[in-house]
Amino acid sequence: MRKDSMLRRLQPKSGNSSTEPALTLHWYDQEISAQPNDTVASALLLAGIRATRKGTVSGNSRLPFCMMGSCFECLIEIDGQIVQSCMTPAKDGMRLSMPEQM
């Protein structure tokens, strides 16, 4: 991805410890940092992941689309359970992967 087209987290004007990355998620081999107010989806997006699942018909890459639980594009597998990542608060140590298909 181009360096000028990332997602950025706004930094607070005053130094504030609540913005220190507090959590680590695992996306395959990659470590993703997250904050307590992140959802799994926002953490993955911020980390620059560009595919969190594959379309079930053609296998095309998908990413979260609506971030409010309507579109179901954000389905991923967390510790063996398939959930909507945009509706799941990030928790330290979560193991994430694409949902397994036929």
45 and 64 in contact (C-beta within 8 Å)?
Answer: yes
Q: Return the residue of 21, 30, 68, 95 that touches another protein, per CB under 8 A.
A: 68
- 52-60 long-range contacts, CB within 8 A, separation 24+: 52/76, 52/85, 52/98, 53/98, 53/99, 54/98, 54/101, 56/101
* Interface with another protein, residue 22, by CB under 8 A: no
Phi/psi of residue 96, nearest 5 degrees: -115, 145
* CA atoms of 86 and 39, how far apart (whole Å): 6
Q: Provide, rounded to whole angstroms, the least separation between the CB of residue 76 and another protein.
A: 13
* Interface with another protein, residue 5, by CB under 8 A: yes
* Interface with another protein, residue 28, by CB under 8 A: no
Window 31-50: residues binding another protein (CB under 8 A):
35, 37-39, 42, 45-46, 50
* Residue ranges binding another protein (CB under 8 A): 1-2, 4-10, 12-13, 16, 18, 35, 37-39, 42, 45-46, 50-51, 55-58, 60-73, 75, 80-82, 87, 89, 99-102
